[in-house]
Structure 1
Amino acid sequence: MTIAAPLLPPADWRDFLALTKPRVMTLVVFTGLCGMLAAPVQIAPVLAFTAILCIALGAGAAGALNQWYEADIDAVMKRTAGRPLPAGRMDRQAALHFGVGLSAFSVILMGLAVNLAAAAILLVSILFYVLIYTVWLKRRTPQNIVIGGAAGAFPPLIGWAAATGQVALLPVLLFSLVFLWTPPHFWALALFMEADYAKAGVPMLPVVAGEKVTRRQIGLYTIPMAIVAIAPWPLGLTGAIYGITAVVLTAAFGVLAALVAAGAKASKPMGYEKKLFAFSILYLFIIFGALVADRWLA
């Protein structure tokens, strides 16, 4: 005699919202919007809203598929154990259907309502995050964040393409900025979450190479990130509002990264690492905001 597994209660809207990783989506949507507003042409408000909606839905879809695939990892990490799947509030099949459906809807809507270029880049970004980062890289190599960082770097390209129908040097630099920003951002987190990653068997750099190597890599990656962040100003792609903001903020980022790289001790354990992680998020918000201010106020 077999005993049927107990049926899970129907997930409510808050569980589906949690699947989309709304906090991560905020930064994705913001950088996509800034890429659109920094473009040299204006897009009709209705189309702009539709494009941003598609970027948000695409990001949410990728987040849902990520949680569907990583439910086993999430269950053993303190930071993620409360998510809908490991907490038992949702069936995995429901998460899979939700993620696939949202992906298809976001790409099709972008293609029909905005343009094919933006839809194509949106599709690539979803597939990259799910297949390249989540399925292929994350459990196999400490370079997961380095290569996988491209997944979160697509939104400025999508926003620009939504407005112009093409890609130019400035959005490519913005893509590169987010791509190079991702390793020091996540490795700072990994330094004070190392035990969680080790428990889950995720080969993050501190787990497989040690704290010293991770700190050094944070410092090294900050150098090209800083160059790319400031580059639009001397290249004549932006004005002084963006340029000065980028120089000041990147200098502050560099100081924190140098302290982390040197293993400097703060008043609290992992104090500088936590400060770098928190500041890195603020850094991206402000620098992209300065890009829009430069475009509209200069």
Structure 2
Amino acid sequence: MKTAVGSAKNNVLALMFADFKEITKARLAISVVFSSIAGYFLGAYEIQWVQLLLLAFGGYCMVGASNAYNQVIEKDLDVLMKRTRNRPVPAGRMSANTALAIAVVLTLLGVVTLYLLNPKTAMFGAISIFLYTSVYTPLKTITPLAVFVGAIPGAIPFMLGWVAATNEFGIEPGTLFMIQFFWQFPHFWALGWMLDEDYKSGGFKMLPTGKKDAATVLQIIMYTIWMMVISVIPVFGITGRLHLSIAAAVLVFVMGAVMLGFAFKLYRQRDNASARKLMLASVSYITLMQIVYVIDKFSA
């Protein structure tokens, strides 16, 4: 009997933990924390592990809070889409009030934790939550320009790590911000292409032209080229302490060219399979690019 009760409790806890991961979008949050940590390594004169832990915890809380707010706001729309209808709130496993309470607690924990690093880091974290929930989320059903607004909070994590390490905002974190800002467009438009029908079921306007057409892919190509250019600017020595060796710049540029190749493939074929390959290539690019930047700094 005790074994059965214990097993039931374990199952309940496992389901609650699974829903917490879903409401905070754990995989996305971890990837965002990875970007912040990369930015921290690039900015830090000396690695302080307590700071790094505070950044990771605070960063997860901020991203998790944004995602939880988003799922509360969009609960009625999430029911209409295949990819979101099984989320905790629309599926009925979690009440909207519970999700909102989680979001508020995570916001407070995140702001306080990042403030312990420095006020600027907490400020940028708070701006990220505000833009994501109060501007980007409601705009998604109104205009494709929502992606432009959403690219701002989406680009903050890489630069946030630098600010956390230095308590300074200048050309270096600004450059990191611009790299991830321009990366957002091919990434999310590739995702939007794949899920266009589902997004339209929920009333979301994600593609720049509203259609899976040549004009949309041309914008993907344009923003990918801008991303490639900005990613190698540090090699020219004009971005303060943010440096990149010639070898690292060539590697980063080649990785960008691979991603650009997938964008051109999407232009030629204009199918979901090509969009998926571009989306996966974009995820690989942002991760590998950050790793190259960090390795290049410590191997110089």
Instruction: Normalising by structure 2, report the TM-score.
Output: 0.89
| Paired residues of 1:121 and 1:157 also in contact (CA < 8 A) | no
| Paired residues of 2:80 and 2:202 also in contact (CA < 8 A) | yes
One-letter code of the match for 2:253?
A: V
Secondary structure class of the residue paired with 1:154? helix
Report the Cα offset of residue 73 of structure 1.
1.8
Secondary structure class of the residue paired with 2:35? helix
Report the Cα offset of residue 207 of structure 1.
7.3
The answer to whether residue 32 in structure 2 is matched with residue 23 in structure 1 is: no
- Name 2:265's counterpart in structure 1: 259
1 or 2, which has the higher helix percentage?
Answer: 2
One-letter code of the match for 1:263?
A: R
Secondary structure class of the residue paired with 2:235? coil
Identify if the C-alpha distance between structure 1 residues 15 and 231 changes in structure 2 by more than 3 Å, giving closer, same or farther: same
Q: What is the rounded CA distance, in whole Å, between the counterparts of 2:264 and 2:148 in structure 1?
A: 19
Report the Cα offset of residue 192 of structure 1.
2.0
Report the Cα offset of residue 248 of structure 1.
1.1
Report the Cα offset of residue 78 of structure 1.
1.2
- Name 2:129's counterpart in structure 1: 126
Report the Cα offset of residue 210 of structure 1.
4.5
Report the Cα offset of residue 43 of structure 1.
4.0
One-letter code of the match for 1:118?
A: T
> Which structure 1 residue ranges, 4+ long, deviate > 3 Å from structure 2?
none
Which deviates further from its counterpart, 91-100 or 171-180?
Answer: 171-180
Superposed CA offset, 1:235-292 (max 9, x none): 36222353122111011111111222x3336xxx522211001110011000001111
One-letter code of the match for 1:245?
A: L
The answer to whether residue 153 in structure 2 is matched with residue 151 in structure 1 is: yes
The answer to whether residue 118 in structure 2 is matched with residue 115 in structure 1 is: yes
| Paired residues of 1:191 and 1:206 also in contact (CA < 8 A) | no
Q: What is the rounded CA distance, in whole Å, between the counterparts of 2:78 and 2:231 in structure 1?
A: 33
- Name 2:93's counterpart in structure 1: 89
Secondary structure class of the residue paired with 2:268? coil
- Name 1:278's counterpart in structure 2: 280
Instruction: Normalising by structure 1, report the TM-score.
Output: 0.90
| Paired residues of 2:190 and 2:279 also in contact (CA < 8 A) | yes
| Paired residues of 1:32 and 1:155 also in contact (CA < 8 A) | yes
Q: What is the rounded CA distance, in whole Å, between the counterparts of 2:21 and 2:104 in structure 1?
A: 15
Q: How does 1:167-246 map to 2 (within 5 A)?
A: 167-205=169-207, 208-235=210-237, 237-246=243-252
One-letter code of the match for 1:239?
A: S
| Paired residues of 2:151 and 2:184 also in contact (CA < 8 A) | yes
Q: What is the rounded CA distance, in whole Å, between the counterparts of 2:160 and 2:275 in structure 1?
A: 31
The answer to whether residue 247 in structure 2 is matched with residue 247 in structure 1 is: no
Q: What is the rounded CA distance, in whole Å, between the counterparts of 2:75 and 2:151 in structure 1?
A: 21
Unaligned runs of 5+ in 2: 1-11
Identify if the C-alpha distance between structure 1 residues 61 and 156 changes in structure 2 by more than 3 Å, giving closer, same or farther: same
Q: What is the rounded CA distance, in whole Å, between the counterparts of 1:93 and 1:32 in structure 2?
A: 30
Superposed CA offset, 1:216-245 (max 9, x none): 211122121111112122236222353122
Report the Cα offset of residue 208 of structure 1.
2.6
Superposed CA offset, 1:105-127 (max 9, x none): 1101221x211111111111111
Report the Cα offset of residue 212 of structure 1.
2.6
Q: What is the rounded CA distance, in whole Å, between the counterparts of 2:299 and 2:185 in structure 1?
A: 32
Q: What is the rounded CA distance, in whole Å, between the counterparts of 2:154 and 2:66 in structure 1?
A: 10
One-letter code of the match for 1:27?
A: S
The answer to whether residue 81 in structure 2 is matched with residue 77 in structure 1 is: yes
| Paired residues of 1:242 and 1:293 also in contact (CA < 8 A) | no
| Paired residues of 1:241 and 1:290 also in contact (CA < 8 A) | no
Identify if the C-alpha distance between structure 1 residues 133 and 123 changes in structure 2 by more than 3 Å, giving closer, same or farther: same
| Paired residues of 2:209 and 2:215 also in contact (CA < 8 A) | no
- Name 2:43's counterpart in structure 1: 39
Unaligned runs of 5+ in 1: 1-8
Aligned mate of 2:67, from 57, 63, 86:
63
Secondary structure class of the residue paired with 2:70? helix
Q: What is the rounded CA distance, in whole Å, between the counterparts of 2:96 and 2:287 in structure 1?
A: 33
Report the Cα offset of residue 170 of structure 1.
2.3
Superposed CA offset, 1:140-167 (max 9, x none): 1111112211111111221111110111
How many residues are matched?
Answer: 284
The answer to whether residue 140 in structure 2 is matched with residue 138 in structure 1 is: yes
Identify if the C-alpha distance between structure 1 residues 44 and 206 changes in structure 2 by more than 3 Å, giving closer, same or farther: closer
Q: What is the rounded CA distance, in whole Å, between the counterparts of 1:176 and 1:248 in structure 2?
A: 19
